[in-house]
Structure formats: C-alpha cells, structure tokens
Chains A and B, each alone.
Chain A
C-alpha cells in the first residue's frame, strides 16, 4: 500500500454515519491526508495577528506535518512560507517565535527574506575563481514555497492552494457569522499557550467537538454545573458541505430536569468551595454561553463562558497529534475580566477540569479502535443525515465531517 493505493480505497458503507476504523490508523490514508486535506484547497489556521504585532515578528507553526513560518513585513502585511530551505530541505527556523530581519539556514547559510524570497547564497560565484553555482542559477526560482494568506479579523489562515476560495465563501454564511461573533474585529489580547500531545488520530479531535452527545454524558463538570447539558436549549449547525460546524448552547441551572436520570454524570450534591471558578458574565449580544466551532481541517474555536481559545490540530502520524491551545481575551478587557478568563481557563487545556476527560477518552478510543481497522463505528444518533438540529442528541456534525472528508479524499461510497 501507498498513498496512491489509499486513494483507490472505497468507503465500505452506504452512509457517512458508518465510519471504517482504518481512517484512524492506516499510514497510507494518513499520507494521503497530508496531500489532499492539509496541502489541498483548505484554509489552515496558523496563528493570531496579536502574536506577530511588529514588522519582523514571526512564529513557526505547522500545517499538517509541514513546518511553516508566519511573518509580518515592514508594510504590515502577513506572509506564510514553508520552513524548508530550498537547497537541502533543512528546517531553517528553529525557534517558536521572535523578531528577525531575515532567516539564514544554519547548514550552508542560504538566506531568505521575510516573504520567503531567497536573497543570499554564500560562494555563489565561487572562491578564488573556483566552484560556485552555475550561471543559470536564479534566486527567483528558489524561494521558500509561499502559501496564500488571509487575515480575518485578527486570525491568520494559510493555504498551499492559491486557488482556494476566499475564507468567507469557504466557511459559508452561517459559519462565518459564528466565527465573527468572537472575532468581531476588536483587538485581541494574548493570554498564553498550552500544548498537549494526544495519542490518537487527529480526526477524533474534530469529532469530539462535533459531538454534543458525549458532552452531556462524559463531563461531570459541564453537566453538574449546567455549562452544557442535553436538557438545555441548544443547536448543532453545519455549513452546506458538512465540513464545518458549531455546537451552540446556553448555561442552565444546576437542577434536575427531563432526561437527567440518564445522565450518570449529574451530581446533585456537588458544589465548589471557591465558586469564583465559575463566575461567568455575559459578554456577547446573544444569550448563548457556549459556542464550539470546528473549522476544517485544523481549527477549533472555543467560546465556553468567558474562556476563549483557538485549538490548532497538528497531526504527528496516524496515531498521534498535538493540540496547540492559544487563550486570548480582548484588548479592552479590564483587570477583572482578564482574571476571570484566566480562572475559567482551569476548565480547559491539558489539565482542564472538563477537557482532561476528552484527552483521556480519545486515547482510549485510539487504543480500542486501532487493532480493528476492518470494523465500522456507528454514528447514527439523530438519524443518517447532517441537517441542522435544535437539540444535542445527535451526531449529525460528525456525519457531515465524514461526508466532506470522503469527498476530499476521493473515497467512493459502496452501496450508496
């Protein structure tokens, strides 16, 4: 098998609600994803503008497994290019962030400017008349490969495909509305990063945030404190392609309601000794308190109470990915709001009172599924389609994801 052979695979079920477990572990499928998903016509999150505010500022990150550098030039524009020297393939930028005039490859000192143009090759004309590059060697032919960049209200996206549609069209009107709820054009304030190595396939993370069914069962913290619960007013919405989705909900009371008897996680007598941890204030015009948005292929935007974060998915092989969390607030937050956001950050991240459950359960899922690539997962809660719904008892957004994924990967459906 190879990525080429993987492209000839077919989806062994008539619907996207039955998912072959080989999607989580097959190395050839993984290799094909690197080409068709991450290097394909997709917008990939690569950071926030507030992380590179000044000319010369840069950050190093990844799209799929490929290392890229995101820079700001003197004219204020944002650029993104492959972090790979065109000479011998060396990853020339080795620090996470900083300020630079240009990037010099450490191996043979080829120099790239802040747009990725090759501007220097030592001994190009040889030494004492000996050696050097051939006459026809032209710097212009060897830039660090530039990506297409779009900055959307402070959020930076990049694409290997220069024909990718504009971000707004890529996301669709309804998803763009939710995206610009949090990224509404206000200046952002960077609070910090958290990095988590989760031993499971990257798609399980996308699924996790498209799956409201688990959220109201697995997470005692969400259920008990009414932060996200199946008996609350809520919605699942998708873009027409199924690629992107949001889970929308509102904080409810810590009390019994219909369906609660099936939520083993609800603990009526559970209380906090220091309730400051859960002291949310309303800060958006609508009444929703949770909006979790998944953007294909590598971004989750988290709006849970007052804790706001992007979660970037960086695949590291079929059985592993990094989740890179960036917590932020707004430039005009007062001190109390900054403290509130930092306090509520206790719910999220690698030590999050909510999200620890996810990282652990995703690991269990990978361990359970990996030895059974020929089996199918059943994701038929709420039916077979991926239409918008106004409740949480559905896996519609996961089905939408796999509809889109199978299309992008070129997997034809059997028996459809």
Chain B
C-alpha cells in the first residue's frame, strides 16, 4: 500500500513539474545512468528500435532541456499531462516496473485545447539517494500521427 502511494506521488510530481514549466528539474527525476524513450506504439509492438526521443543518460536529458530553451524554434503552448491507472506490474529486489496511462492536452494560442498525445508510461523505478527515481522511462504513444511537433518532454 505504501509502495503504491510512493509510486503515485512520483508520477504526479513528475507531470506537475513538467506542466508548471520547471524543465530544469525534469532530469532530477531520473537516475544518472538512465534511459528515457518516447516510442510509437506500432514500433514498440513490432520490436523496431526507433524512438522519437532517445536519451541514454541524465546528461542527455539536460541536453534536451538546453535545446528547448536555447536552440529550438516553436510556437508557444501549454501542455497538461493527465496520469491514470498506475499499477506495479513487476516487483524486483532493486526496482519495480510500473505501468500507467497518460494523456497530454495541448493548448495553442489560437486554438481550443486538444488532446495531443495518448499512451502509457512503462517505468522502472528505483531508490536512489533515498528517493524514488526513474532508471528507465518509456513513453509509448498511441497517437501515431503526431500533431506537428513534440517539443516539451512527455
């Protein structure tokens, strides 16, 4: 019961941090050696290795943030992540595998709010320096045809 609570708190804090725009804190949710991937559901199901975003370390997450803040050109938007149905699907000595559903709503300046992405998180969660962090996070999206660009993290 306590594990379920801790896992949910991690997931909720993760998405709240993104939605509040604290991008610089995004990498903190991951262990130093980590993988973060945003993967199309059809590629995942067919065993094709391509990911939309593929980060292989916390440093690569930082590089994504820097690119977002300093390099990329994109229209202003608000994103809001909804997370539901978190379940611990595997328990190991050092980690747990957690699956949850996500929906990301996107609000552009001149458009009503629309559903931007839907999918599921497949997260490996470990205790790192006394707190829960993701050692692996896979965002497997159903929305195969992406509305233009994925700018901010999923």
Judge if A142 is at the interface, Cβ distance under 8 Å. no
Q: Which of B62, B71, B144 contacts A220 (CB 8 A)?
A: B71
Assuming the contacts A191-B49, A356-B74, asked whether A274 and B59 have C-beta atoms less than 8 A apart, the reply is: yes
What residues on A are CB-neighbors of B64 within 8 Å?
A: 353
- The digit string for A167-206, where 1 denotes a CB below 8 A from any CB of B, is 0000000000000000000000011111111110000000
A53 CA / B87 CA spacing, docked (Å): 38
Which residues of A from 126 to 182 have beta carbons under 8 Å from B? none
Residue among A199, A218, A349, A357 with most chain B CB within 10 A: A349
Question: Chain A: interface residue count, which band?
Answer: 35 or more
- The digit string for A341-364, where 1 denotes a CB below 8 A from any CB of B, is 011011001110100110111011
Judge if B57 is at the interface, Cβ distance under 8 Å. yes
Q: Which of B63, B72, B148 contacts A277 (CB 8 A)?
A: B63
Closest chain-B Cβ to A144's Cβ sits at a distance in Å of 25
What residues on B are CB-neighbors of A199 within 8 Å?
A: 148
Judge if A113 is at the interface, Cβ distance under 8 Å. no
Contact A195 B40 (CB under 8 A): yes
Contact B151 A356 (CB under 8 A): yes
Dominant SS among interface residues on chain A: mixed
Residue of chain B at shortest CB distance from A355: B149
Which residues of B from 22 to 63 have beta carbons under 8 Å from A? 38, 40, 42-43, 48-57, 59-60, 62-63
Judge if A221 is at the interface, Cβ distance under 8 Å. yes
Judge if B146 is at the interface, Cβ distance under 8 Å. yes
Contact A273 B62 (CB under 8 A): yes
Q: Which of A190, A196, A267, A357 contacts B145 (CB 8 A)?
A: A196
What residues on A are CB-neighbors of B52 within 8 Å?
A: 194, 349-351
Judge if A282 is at the interface, Cβ distance under 8 Å. no
Contact B53 A192 (CB under 8 A): no
Which residues of A from 26 to 64 have beta carbons under 8 Å from B? none
Contact A274 B38 (CB under 8 A): no
Contact A342 B62 (CB under 8 A): no
A93 CA / B66 CA spacing, docked (Å): 44
Contact B50 A353 (CB under 8 A): no
A339 CA / B149 CA spacing, docked (Å): 24
Closest chain-B Cβ to A354's Cβ sits at a distance in Å of 9
Judge if B70 is at the interface, Cβ distance under 8 Å. yes
What residues on A are CB-neighbors of B55 within 8 Å?
A: 346
A161 CA / B148 CA spacing, docked (Å): 32
Residue among A193, A194, A351 with most chain B CB within 10 A: A351
A331 CA / B56 CA spacing, docked (Å): 24
Closest chain-A Cβ to B152's Cβ sits at a distance in Å of 10
Contact B149 A195 (CB under 8 A): no
What residues on A are CB-neighbors of B146 within 8 Å?
A: 194-197, 350
Judge if B67 is at the interface, Cβ distance under 8 Å. yes
Assuming the contacts A192-B49, A342-B51, A360-B75, asked whether A351 and B145 have C-beta atoms less than 8 A apart, the reply is: no
Residue of chain A at shortest CB distance from B154: A351
What residues on A are CB-neighbors of B60 within 8 Å?
A: 273-274, 276-277
Judge if B21 is at the interface, Cβ distance under 8 Å. no
Which residues of B from 72 to 92 have beta carbons under 8 Å from A? 72-75
Interface residue ranges, A against B (CB under 8 Å): 96, 190-199, 218, 220-221, 224, 267, 270, 272-274, 276-277, 322, 327, 338, 342-343, 345-346, 349-351, 353, 356-357, 359-361, 363-364
Ordered by A's residue number, 10 sampled pairs between the chains whose C-beta atoms are within 8 Å are A193-B43, A196-B149, A221-B71, A221-B72, A272-B63, A342-B50, A350-B52, A353-B64, A356-B149, A363-B75
Q: Which 7 A-B pairs have the closest CB atoms?
A: A192-B50, A273-B59, A220-B71, A192-B48, A274-B59, A351-B150, A192-B43
Given A192-B48, A267-B71, A356-B149, 9 further pairs, Cβ under 8 A: A192-B50, A193-B42, A194-B146, A195-B146, A197-B145, A224-B71, A274-B59, A350-B148, A353-B67
